[in-house]
Amino acid sequence: MQKVVQQARKAFRTRGGILRTTEALAAGIHPRTLYAMRDSGELAVLSHGIFRLGSLPPMANPDLTTVAMRVPHGVICLTSALAFHELTTQIPHDVHLAIARTSRPPRMKFPPLHVYRFSREAFEPGIEVHTIDRVGIRIYSAEKTLADCFKYRNKIGMDVFLEALRAYRRRSKPQFQKVLENAGICRVARLIRPYLEALV
């Protein structure tokens, strides 16, 4: 059994320390081994069907990592993306996630999600991939996030957008033209322009 566990540990380490159940099985880890490692505390359960080596350092952002593993086709957006880009003092109570309008909504109990359906035109631009806790996480760029926050200002609050815009302005090289271009994708360019011009 010890040899089997050692092989399972190696399989986890070579894949960044986090695996879905299906990935673990494909790597040759028997379900009995997987659950024995879970029960002994050697593996931590991040969410249903996602396991992480317990010996790894504490996670920087377990919620975003878990969502990225469970919903690989989604993109972190709005307030959650603002928090990632350090453009807000808000602490999101749930993870804001964009999915394509034609995608099936994810089923997750934890972490709690607030799902937004974006049209294909609005969903695809501005996606960046950042590695957090050894996992590639899809997050909208700061400029796309600002445009989205203005578009959804009635849901997340105009004050959240304005705070983020002021924080963005303090960056060494803010790219307001990119914000405006993304606002055009979101069909709010005419409305957002006065706010941008007031800061330039």
* pTM, rounded to two decimals: 0.76
* φ, ψ dihedrals at 168, nearest 5°: -65, -40
Closest by alpha carbon to 43, among 27, 21, 65, 68? 21
Model confidence at 1, pLDDT cuts 50, 70, 90, reads low
Which pLDDT belongs to residue 59? 67
Model confidence at 112, pLDDT cuts 50, 70, 90, reads confident
Q: Is the pLDDT of residue 134 over 80?
A: no
Q: Which residue has the higher pLDDT, 178 or 60?
A: 178
Distance CA 147, CA 118 (A): 13
| Domains contained in the chain, CATH given | 2-53 (1.10.10), 62-197 (no CATH)
At a CB cut-off of 8 Å and minimum separation 6, what does 146 contact? 87, 161, 164, 165, 168, 179, 182
